[in-house]
């Protein structure tokens, strides 16, 4: 089964929201994939931020059970695709885990918008979290055809 991991810094804001959106989109299309998230600087077991939980709940999703996890080499190696929220995160990931065979792209690259990063709303207002959700949703929707192509390619190869 195809596996994608969405990555940000703490795995309490952007990547949990991205995980929800990607999972919803793939489920709605009947695509079978494992979707998860992790953070480059995450502390294992932290909850999603209260604003992220509110934004998700406001859109009919639930992050109340989310627990952050640190991005490890094992998480990377178990994934078919790792998607970071920023180019800086992609660079740090590749530097820390050089030699990993898993493909790493930014969400902007997946969406065909190289150079577009998803701003970190951590510590910001509810409006900033809503704007972040909308930006992630926009980029996921743009990148969905490419993600579906990868899922189908993996399925065909299996």
pLDDT in tens, 28-74: 999 989 999 999 999 999 999 999 999 999 999 999 999 999 999 99
Percent of the chain with pLDDT over 70: 100
Question: Radius of gyration (Cα) for the chain, nearest Å?
Answer: 14
* Chain segment 105-140, per-residue pLDDT in tens: 999 999 999 999 999 999 999 999 999 999 999 999
- Full-model pTM: 0.97
Percent of the chain with pLDDT over 90: 89
Residue 157's pLDDT band (cuts 50, 70, 90):
confident
What CA–CA distance (Å, rounded) separates 52 from 136?
12
Tracing tokens 């979290």 back to the chain, one arrives at 129
Q: Active-site positions?
A: 8, 14, 120
Phi first, then psi, for residue 34 (nearest 5°) are -90, 125
Residue 100's pLDDT band (cuts 50, 70, 90):
confident
Residue 158's pLDDT band (cuts 50, 70, 90):
confident
Report the CATH architecture of 2-150.
Answer: 3-Layer(aba) Sandwich (3.40)
Indicate the SS3 state at residue 125: coil
What pLDDT shows up at residue 43?
96
What CA–CA distance (Å, rounded) separates 67 from 90?
22
For the chain, the domains span 2-150
Kindly state the DSSP code that residue 12 receives in the 8-state scheme.
S
Distance of CA 57 to the CA centre of its chain: 18
Tokens describing residue 21? 């959106």
Q: Is the pLDDT of residue 99 over 80?
A: yes
């Amino acid at each position: 089964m195809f596996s994608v991991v969405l990555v940000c810094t703490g795995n309490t804001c952007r990547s949990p929201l991205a995980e929800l959106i990607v999972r919803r989109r793939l489920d709605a299309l009947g695509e079978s994939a494992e979707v998860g998230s992790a953070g480059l600087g995450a502390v294992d077991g932290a909850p999603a931020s209260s604003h992220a939980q509110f934004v998700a709940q406001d859109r009919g999703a639930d992050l109340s059970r989310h627990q952050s996890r640190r991005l490890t080499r094992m998480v990377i190696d178990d994934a078919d695709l790792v998607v970071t929220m920023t180019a800086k995160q992609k660079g740090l990931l590749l530097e820390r885990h050089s030699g990993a065979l898993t493909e790493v792209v930014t969400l902007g690259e997946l969406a065909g918008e190289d150079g577009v990063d998803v701003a970190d709303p951590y510590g910001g207002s509810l409006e900033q979290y809503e704007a972040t959700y909308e930006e992630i949703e926009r980029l996921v929707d743009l990148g969905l055809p490419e993600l579906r192509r990868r899922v189908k390619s993996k399925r065909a190869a299996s």
